[in-house]
Structure 1
């Protein structure tokens, strides 16, 4: 049924007997429940989590499990579905660090370069899980979900997709053949830079139970207030993502006219991105591969409307030189990631234009 409705329509469905929420859920702050109530303890479940899980699960077309952060959701995925797990290295720095940390302690969890993925898939062991991020962060590469899912399933494996940058507004991996979807809810899902949260969605109830068990045993739960804020963020997800994506597309095209092929944007991938394709629009992130850290820093110093800060997916526009982090060892020191917010497109372009001119670009 999800495929036949728009995201905006799903977010405005009237309450019914099989739903846990009306316009907004209540915030349940109970850590202890009395005998005979719905749960024994607050680490097991919470009605506010369940409202958020029900809504994001419906948007993605599966059953959701919420976590205290995106990293916690990824940890649960690798722990529950491993130990045979391949994590494609073209992904968020925190994911790579987690894969290395776990791989040093659990044989079978391996970080692999995209250029080596074909060889690894040829010898993939049954029961293995492969985790990709598309679009990837911060290089913004798109990977063919349906093609990879078919190939991995032929070997008896599972495909997990980190779809944080696309959100279910632009991309629904489960409908393309993926087995699991992961999101950092701290980003677009909550959308206001005020929450840490994560979520994992799968259509197979056994997978859901396995990751849910990891959450319960490790205590990697999302707080009820945070779950409420994530639920509230979902109510405006479609309009925020669509607006930010349209603005980012305009900025990316103008930046490419000025800077050429140094500009990275998922919307430039005409095979996988566009109406009726894997990802319906380019999304809200743009990356600039500038020549040096000095050139990138000079540009950042010239910005006033784009705030110099980490993270992404909020209503405000952010810019950051990702190469300043020692863990970003796969990119050039001059790569600048732009997270486009909800400001006026011409105001944002004026800010970028002035900063680029100041940096001699």
Structure 2
């Protein structure tokens, strides 16, 4: 009898250890490797010292790893119950940032909570993925063909997009909308429905451009003709291209990049951190970092495909697409392929909210992997 009681007391701890063993540790190791790359880049951005960027960022990452592993233990049923409260909380923060947000670089994007500066739009992206996965996971392919059924989840996407646009933060708003659209497609949205959404896009883009702020229009103009204002609006992208080109094949050497170390490169610890890496480590170093980022994306997609339940599939897809878009937008921006915007490079750029929310997303991804064999929410109707 005493042995049975001890066994019952030990069972929860055994389950925790079992789930931790099932975590995809190779994927976690890749995440840590990218964080090490980020630490090295931020150490260089700080002038060869851990302050003020590399040290705080490493502390945030360590906390993020603990959070990621904790979330990976949560079952799908718990995550589904968390979806609505987390989504509503993210909307409240987005409204709050419009009322009393901290202004930076021409926009209200940050809130001061308990002495910490947080960016609610980062939470909104993850909350939306969780909310849509919870909404769609019990829905059959047949019901997805009803346009009226798509109205509530469409509003779930449009509300945070509108609030983020109001800050204004065009880049993040586009990413949120694209992540939402990808989850609609993965859930079974018909091609004709997608075509109806795409057709008016050029007209909506023209209308949207007329409502952009002056600095946003300047970014578009600068993207097309950066040399027209080399010391003003075009300065950032011109310096970024110079740094990328000066790196050559093998780079100028760690801590020896001229554009970065002489402070010609703007926002070298955040938006243009990849430019600094490419200048110091060259084409080989830049391609290596891009390859590591792509491995995380493909690994996330594989986790989504390996899940036996629709919730895990949608969750894995949403987190992977969100990570991919942030990488793609940042890399395209610093290379001059798209207009410059305030989008960081995940796991590498300096930033507390971005780092913690990326790790939160990876925690959800690990939960999908650990519980990939669960048939949570799967019904005959759902598989039709």
Q: What TM bracket, shorter-length normalisation?
A: under 0.3
Bigger Cα Rg: 2
Structure 2 length-normalised TM: 0.23
Structure 1 length-normalised TM: 0.24
Name the structure with the higher strand share.
1
Q: Which has the higher contact order (CA 8 A, sep 6+)?
A: 2
